[in-house]
């Protein structure tokens, strides 16, 4: 084992962990000089830089121009034709990786001795054949270029197969996280005007069957859009069947040829929509296109996880989130490595499931979320200690700031003080990682996502867009376009402009607060808008409020996020009730359940408080800041001069 001697305490008192020399020697990027030189070039001449990066990918037709930037609209690799599915499959096979394992999947159910009941390994060649069969099946169902296909599936290989099949024929996919409710599916189907759904009868989670098909049935009842539902048989649970609409996956692929030419798609062809929460109203369909996203995910995955041909790489996210799109499917497959997929919960059957998986397959690179690390911390180091984790070379973190205590635990008990940790900052909108250490290069400081990735011009500014001094808290913005950036919000240009490009003139506004220290390291402090991050999952206060007021007894609701040791943030709801009934704890539970059924379990408020009135300004705006103070500190201390009715605060104090 490499000694833990590479720890300095800088002048600032911050601990710094310098990359181990052995790791750096074998890495794609080996030194700070490598990074500084490339970074300078990437910012001074982005077109030349990205054109060289893109040379690793396969294009049917080369671009005429690297970037056309008509703020806020970017076109990357203008005029090129390519296909992401081809790049993940044939392009790998053509480089001699056909028999190499592409996807290594483990289902949740286990035998008595804890071993998995099902393991599937798909080589690049087999994966290509499966993708082609399904792509041909989709075409036969009448799906073609441009049709939005909704995927609501468990974490099984068929989800990746379905995505790659859609990408192959140019039908944009819209993956919906399996934990979302029927209403959430219906809203997304409607917004995307999507006529096709791919689902499964169920999926395994904590030894129970998640009734995916029945949620889809309910959603189909709410919109009249859906023409076909393809159903993969996973759990064999009872389901309803609509003969005209529903078709088994097995029937779809039956007799289909295992070859299907990848469509030659324009660089800016829509690759997928992914719905995420914003500060207002309903979720927005973040739109990503083909070539820029492809190049950006391939390159970031390669450098940040330092992917090498024999890596067994495991990202524990669900494919229903952007992390899974970019760093389970598209990024790793474009690097020809083995990407591990696991269907179920981290504590099924016991709290060492993740470490058992790492040991079983010799996982070399492991990427997870701070909320999971904190959950493991709570269970104690004896769980990872039962397993041989000596193959691990690198650890990653994503989704929310990682608190230094969790960082140190991860470093010591999982990485055994040997593995660099990459704390990667990014968003659904950014397509790939924008701020991160490079594992062979960047000395890390626990709690900081460190520096901007190549080509990323990140800065901290005030509300007027003025750059701030080191260590001043401000807003995180990106001043130049990058290939993986979102191209819009589906069907809502005005919202796209307002949300990201108007808040601060001329730059992309992330919605995050941060500071940058004297070494140019970014410290993300969290969202500055009405977005809450619960266990790294993104939720909008407005969505939860509208779910609450859809309950017949609720008059008004205000939702805030407050710090929580395990989940990062938790949800508190302040609610006023219609009529004169006295609310009680039954109603609290009923409301929590109501949110879980209308939105999904992750949106369930941890705390519900009843009040006669909500604190508002004279113009009628709810003063969430006061509610936040109340939820975090138990009292209101800040400025209340704009508050309309002081008695509401007194009343809230009594609650």
Taking the least distance from each CB to ligand WT7, the nearer of 228 and 527 is: 527
Minimum Å gap between C-beta 502 and ligand WT7 is 18
- Closest distance to ligand WT7 from the beta carbon of 160 (Å): 18
Strands (E), 311-465: 312-315, 338-342, 365-368, 394-398, 421-424, 458-461
Pair type for strands 531-534 and 537-540: antiparallel
> ∠ CA(480), CA(485), CA(490), 5° rounding?
130
> 572, 605 in Cβ contact below 8 A?
yes
CB of 524 to ligand WT7, least distance (A): 4
Whose Cβ is closer to ligand WT7: residue 144's or residue 525's? 525
Helices (H), 170-317: 182-192, 212-222, 249-253, 291-304
**Cβ atoms within 10 Å of 412's Cβ, excluding its own:** 13
Q: What angle do CA 569, 570, 573 make, to 5 degrees?
A: 135
> How far apart are the C-alpha atoms of 638 and 309, rounded to whole Å?
56
Least distance to ligand WT7 from the beta carbon of 371, Å?
A: 11
- Residue closer to ligand WT7 by CB (options 90, 400) is 400
Q: Are 381 and 367 in contact (CB under 8 A)?
A: no
For the bound state, the minimum distance from the C-beta of residue 296 to ligand WT7, rounded and expressed in Å, comes to 13
Quote the least distance from Cβ 513 to ligand WT7, whole Å. 9
Contacts of 270 (CB under 8 A, 6+ apart): 146, 172, 287, 288, 289, 290, 487
Ramachandran region of residue 77, left (φ > 0), alpha (ψ -120 to 50) or beta?
A: left
Q: Which is nearer to ligand WT7, 551 or 604 (CB)?
A: 604
Nearest to ligand WT7 of 423, 457 (CB atom): 423
Question: Which chain residues interact with ligand WT7 by CB under 6 A?
Answer: 276, 321-323, 398-401, 423-428, 449, 510-512, 524, 526-527, 533, 538
Residue 134 or 425: which CB sits closer to ligand WT7? 425
d(CA 46, CA 450): 21
> C-alpha angle with apex 274: 185 to 357, nearest 5 degrees?
90
- Euclidean distance between CA atoms 166 and 269, whole angstroms: 12
Nearest-approach distance from CB 426 to ligand WT7, in angstroms = 4
Q: Are 366 and 376 in contact (CB under 8 A)?
A: no
Work out how close the CB of 498 gets to ligand WT7 at its nearest, in angstroms, rounded to a whole number.
Answer: 17
**DSSP-derived secondary structure for 602-620:** GG--SEEEE-SS--BBTTS
Q: Minimum Å distance from CB 564 to ligand WT7?
A: 15
Rank residues 356 and 524 by Cβ distance to ligand WT7 and give the closer one.
524
Pick the closer one to ligand WT7 by CB: 234 or 538. Answer: 538
Task: Provide the minimum distance between the beta carbon of 489 and ligand WT7 in the complex, in angstroms, as a whole number.
Answer: 13
Identity of the residue, 321 or 574, whose beta carbon is nearer to ligand WT7 in the bound complex = 321
Nearer to ligand WT7, 424 or 442 (CB): 424
Integer Cα distance of 12 and 252 in angstroms: 62
242, 216 contact by CB (below 8 A)? no
Q: How far is the CB of 342 from ligand WT7 (least distance, A)?
A: 18
Contact residues for 241 (Cβ-Cβ < 8 A; gap 6+): none
Compute CA distances 259 → 26, 120, 135, 253, whole Å: 37, 21, 9, 12
Tell me whether residue 131 or residue 394 sits nearer to ligand WT7 (CB atom).
394
CB 323, min distance to ligand WT7, A:
5
CB-based contacts of 172, cutoff 8 Å, min separation 6: 146, 147, 148, 149, 166, 270, 271, 272, 273
Residue 204's nearest CA partner among 323, 322, 116, 275 is 116
Q: Which is nearer to ligand WT7, 358 or 524 (by Cβ)? A: 524
Nearer CB in complex with ligand WT7: 249/313: 313
Q: State the CB neighbour count (10 A cutoff) for residue 244.
A: 7
DSSP-derived pairing of the beta strands 508-516 and 522-527? antiparallel
State in angstroms the smallest separation of the CB of 550 from ligand WT7.
24
In the complex, minimum distance from the CB of residue 425 to ligand WT7, in angstroms, rounded to a whole number: 4
Instruction: Output the CA–CA distances (angstroms, integers) from residue 148 to 117, 222, 343, 484, in the order listed.
Output: 34, 18, 25, 20
Give the separation between CA 115 and CA 554, rounded to whole angstroms: 48
Query: Cβ closer to ligand WT7: 289 or 611?
Result: 289
């Amino acid at each position: 084992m490499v000694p833990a001697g590479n720890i300095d305490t800088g002048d600032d008192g911050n601990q710094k962990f310098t990359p181990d020399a052995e790791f750096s020697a074998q890495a794609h990027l080996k030194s700070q000089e490598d990074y500084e030189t490339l970074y300078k070039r990437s910012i001074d001449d982005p077109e030349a830089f990205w054109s060289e990066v893109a040379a690793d990918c396969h294009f049917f037709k080369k671009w005429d121009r690297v970037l056309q930037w008509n703020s806020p609209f970017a076109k990357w690799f203008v005029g090129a034709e390519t296909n992401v599915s081809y790049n993940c499959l044939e392009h790998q096979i053509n480089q001699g990786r056909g028999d190499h394992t592409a996807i290594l999947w483990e289902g949740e159910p286990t035998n008595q001795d804890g071993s998995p009941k099902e393991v599937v390994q798909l080589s690049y060649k087999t994966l290509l054949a499966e993708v082609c069969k399904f792509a041909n099946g989709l075409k036969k169902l009448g799906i073609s270029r441009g049709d939005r296909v909704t995927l609501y599936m468990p974490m099984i290989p068929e989800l990746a197969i379905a995505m790659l099949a859609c990408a192959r024929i140019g039908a944009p996919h819209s993956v919906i996280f399996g934990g979302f409710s029927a209403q959430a599916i219906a809203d997304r189907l409607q917004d995307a005007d999507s006529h096709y759904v791919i689902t499964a009868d169920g999926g395994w989670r904590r030894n129970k069957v998640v009734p995916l098909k029945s949620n889809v049935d309910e959603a189909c009842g709410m919109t009249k859009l859906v023409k076909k539902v393809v159903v993969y048989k996973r759990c064999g649970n009872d389901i309803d069947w609509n003969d005209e609409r529903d078709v088994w996956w097995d029937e779809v692929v039956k007799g289909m040829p295992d070859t299907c030419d990848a469509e030659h798609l324009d660089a800016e062809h829509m690759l997928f929509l992914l719905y995420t929460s914003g500060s207002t109203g309903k979720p927005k369909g973040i739109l990503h296109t083909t070539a820029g996203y492809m190049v950006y995910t391939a390159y970031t995955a390669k450098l940040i996880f330092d992917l090498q041909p024999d890596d067994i790489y495991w990202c524990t996210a669900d494919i229903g989130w952007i992390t899974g799109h970019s760093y389970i499917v598209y990024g790793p497959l474009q690097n020809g490595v083995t990407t591990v997929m696991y269907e179920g919960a981290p504590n099924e059957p016991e709290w060492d499931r993740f470490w058992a998986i790492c040991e079983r397959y010799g996982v070399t690179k492991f990427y997870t979320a701070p909320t999971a690390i904190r959950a493991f911390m709570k269970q104690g180091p004896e769980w990872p200690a039962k397993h041989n984790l000596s193959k691990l070379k690198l650890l990653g973190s994503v989704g929310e700031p990682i608190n230094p205590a969790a960082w140190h635990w991860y470093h010591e008990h999982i990485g055994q003080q040997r593995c660099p940790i990459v704390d990667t900052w990014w968003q659904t909108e950014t397509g790939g990682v924008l701020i991160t250490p490079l594992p062979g290069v960047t000395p890390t400081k626990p709690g900081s996502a460190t520096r901007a990735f190549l080509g990323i011009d990140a800065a901290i500014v005030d509300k007027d867009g003025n750059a701030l001094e080191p260590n001043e808290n401000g807003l995180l913005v990106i001043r130049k376009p990058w290939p993986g950036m979102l191209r819009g919000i589906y069907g809502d240009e005005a919202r796209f402009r307002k949300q990201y490009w108007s808040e601060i003139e001329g730059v992309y506004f992330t919605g995050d607060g941060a500071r940058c220290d004297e070494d140019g390291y970014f410290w993300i402090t969290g969202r500055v808008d009405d977005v809450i991050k619960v266990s790294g999952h993104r939720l909008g206060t407005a969505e939860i409020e509208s779910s609450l007021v859809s309950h017949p007894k609720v008059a008004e609701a205000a939702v805030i996020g407050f710090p929580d040791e395990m989940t990062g943030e938790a949800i508190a709801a302040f609610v006023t009730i219609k009529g004169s009934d006295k609310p009680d704890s039954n109603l609290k539970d009923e409301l929590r359940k109501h949110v879980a059924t209308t939105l999904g379990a992750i949106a369930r408020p941890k705390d519900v408080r009843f009040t006669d009135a909500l604190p508002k300004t004279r113009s009628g705006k709810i003063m969430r800041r006061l509610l936040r103070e109340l939820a975090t500190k138990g009292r209101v201390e800040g400025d209340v001069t704009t508050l309309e009715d002081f008695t509401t605060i007194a009343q809230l104090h009594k609650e």
